[in-house]
Amino acid sequence: MGMNMQKLMKQAQKMQNDMNRAQEELKTMTVEGIAGGGMVKVVMTGAQEVVSVSISPEVVDPEDVEMLEDLVLAAMREASAASQAMAAQHLGKVTGGMGLPGMF
Protein backbone atom coordinates (compact mmCIF):
# COMPACT_ATOMS: atom_id res chain seq x y z
CA MET A 1 0.00 0.00 0.00
CA GLY A 2 2.85 2.42 0.83
CA MET A 3 4.49 1.98 -2.58
CA ASN A 4 1.23 2.71 -4.39
CA MET A 5 0.75 5.89 -2.38
CA GLN A 6 4.32 6.97 -3.05
CA LYS A 7 3.89 6.31 -6.77
CA LEU A 8 0.62 8.24 -6.78
CA MET A 9 2.28 11.18 -5.03
CA LYS A 10 5.11 11.20 -7.59
CA GLN A 11 2.58 11.18 -10.44
CA ALA A 12 0.63 14.02 -8.83
CA GLN A 13 3.82 16.05 -8.39
CA LYS A 14 4.81 15.46 -12.01
CA MET A 15 1.36 16.53 -13.19
CA GLN A 16 1.59 19.68 -11.04
CA ASN A 17 5.01 20.51 -12.48
CA ASP A 18 3.76 19.88 -16.02
CA MET A 19 0.69 22.05 -15.35
CA ASN A 20 2.84 24.90 -14.03
CA ARG A 21 5.08 24.68 -17.11
CA ALA A 22 2.06 24.63 -19.43
CA GLN A 23 0.55 27.68 -17.71
CA GLU A 24 3.83 29.56 -18.10
CA GLU A 25 3.94 28.62 -21.79
CA LEU A 26 0.40 29.97 -22.24
CA LYS A 27 1.63 33.37 -21.11
CA THR A 28 3.83 33.53 -24.22
CA MET A 29 1.33 32.06 -26.70
CA THR A 30 -0.99 34.52 -28.47
CA VAL A 31 -4.21 34.52 -30.45
CA GLU A 32 -5.85 37.28 -32.43
CA GLY A 33 -9.44 38.47 -32.49
CA ILE A 34 -10.47 40.36 -35.63
CA ALA A 35 -13.58 42.40 -36.41
CA GLY A 36 -14.72 44.66 -39.22
CA GLY A 37 -12.84 42.76 -41.88
CA GLY A 38 -9.53 43.32 -40.10
CA MET A 39 -10.17 46.95 -39.17
CA VAL A 40 -9.98 46.10 -35.45
CA LYS A 41 -7.55 43.52 -34.04
CA VAL A 42 -7.00 42.36 -30.49
CA VAL A 43 -4.05 40.17 -29.51
CA MET A 44 -4.43 38.14 -26.30
CA THR A 45 -2.22 35.59 -24.57
CA GLY A 46 -3.33 32.13 -23.58
CA ALA A 47 -3.42 33.49 -20.03
CA GLN A 48 -6.23 35.90 -21.03
CA GLU A 49 -4.02 39.02 -21.03
CA VAL A 50 -4.65 41.57 -23.78
CA VAL A 51 -1.30 42.57 -25.23
CA SER A 52 -2.40 44.87 -28.05
CA VAL A 53 -5.37 46.52 -29.72
CA SER A 54 -5.08 47.86 -33.27
CA ILE A 55 -7.70 50.09 -34.88
CA SER A 56 -7.45 51.20 -38.49
CA PRO A 57 -7.94 54.95 -38.88
CA GLU A 58 -10.63 54.37 -41.54
CA VAL A 59 -12.97 52.88 -38.93
CA VAL A 60 -12.72 55.89 -36.59
CA ASP A 61 -15.81 58.00 -37.26
CA PRO A 62 -16.64 60.64 -34.65
CA GLU A 63 -20.25 60.48 -35.84
CA ASP A 64 -20.47 56.73 -35.17
CA VAL A 65 -18.53 55.90 -32.01
CA GLU A 66 -20.98 53.10 -31.25
CA MET A 67 -19.86 51.14 -34.33
CA LEU A 68 -16.23 51.35 -33.20
CA GLU A 69 -17.19 50.21 -29.71
CA ASP A 70 -19.07 47.25 -31.21
CA LEU A 71 -16.09 46.29 -33.36
CA VAL A 72 -13.69 46.45 -30.41
CA LEU A 73 -16.08 44.36 -28.32
CA ALA A 74 -16.45 41.79 -31.11
CA ALA A 75 -12.68 41.51 -31.52
CA MET A 76 -12.23 41.16 -27.75
CA ARG A 77 -14.82 38.39 -27.58
CA GLU A 78 -13.24 36.54 -30.49
CA ALA A 79 -9.78 36.80 -28.95
CA SER A 80 -11.10 35.66 -25.57
CA ALA A 81 -12.85 32.63 -27.04
CA ALA A 82 -9.74 31.71 -29.05
CA SER A 83 -7.54 32.16 -25.98
CA GLN A 84 -9.76 29.93 -23.86
CA ALA A 85 -9.85 27.26 -26.56
CA MET A 86 -6.07 27.37 -26.93
CA ALA A 87 -5.61 27.13 -23.16
CA ALA A 88 -8.03 24.21 -22.86
CA GLN A 89 -6.23 22.35 -25.63
CA HIS A 90 -2.77 23.11 -24.25
CA LEU A 91 -3.65 22.21 -20.66
CA GLY A 92 -5.60 19.16 -21.84
CA LYS A 93 -2.32 17.68 -23.02
CA VAL A 94 -1.12 17.77 -19.41
CA THR A 95 -4.31 16.61 -17.72
CA GLY A 96 -5.13 13.98 -20.31
CA GLY A 97 -8.55 15.57 -20.76
CA MET A 98 -9.55 15.09 -17.13
CA GLY A 99 -11.17 18.53 -16.94
CA LEU A 100 -9.73 19.58 -13.61
CA PRO A 101 -11.66 22.23 -11.63
CA GLY A 102 -10.42 25.77 -12.07
CA MET A 103 -9.09 25.09 -15.56
CA PHE A 104 -10.79 26.86 -18.45
How far is Cα 35 from Cα 14, in angstroms, rounded to an integer? 41
Q: What pTM does this model have?
A: 0.77
Rg (CA), the chain: 19
Span 31-84, pLDDT tens digits: 999 999 999 999 999 999 999 999 999 999 999 999 999 999 999 999 999 999
- Residue 101's pLDDT is what? 52
- The domain limits of the chain are 2-95
- Residue 1's pLDDT is what? 57
pLDDT tier at 104, thresholds 50, 70, 90:
very low
Q: Count the neighbouring beta carbons within 10 Å of the beta carbon of residue 24.
A: 10
pLDDT tier at 97, thresholds 50, 70, 90:
low
- In CATH, which of 3.30.70.380, 3.40.50.300, 3.90.180.10, 3.30.1310.10 is domain 2-95? 3.30.1310.10
- For residue 8, pLDDT beyond 50: yes
96 class by beta-carbon count within 10 Å (0-12 exposed, 13-18 middle, 19+ buried)? exposed
* The dihedral sign for the CA sequence 47, 49, 51, 56: positive
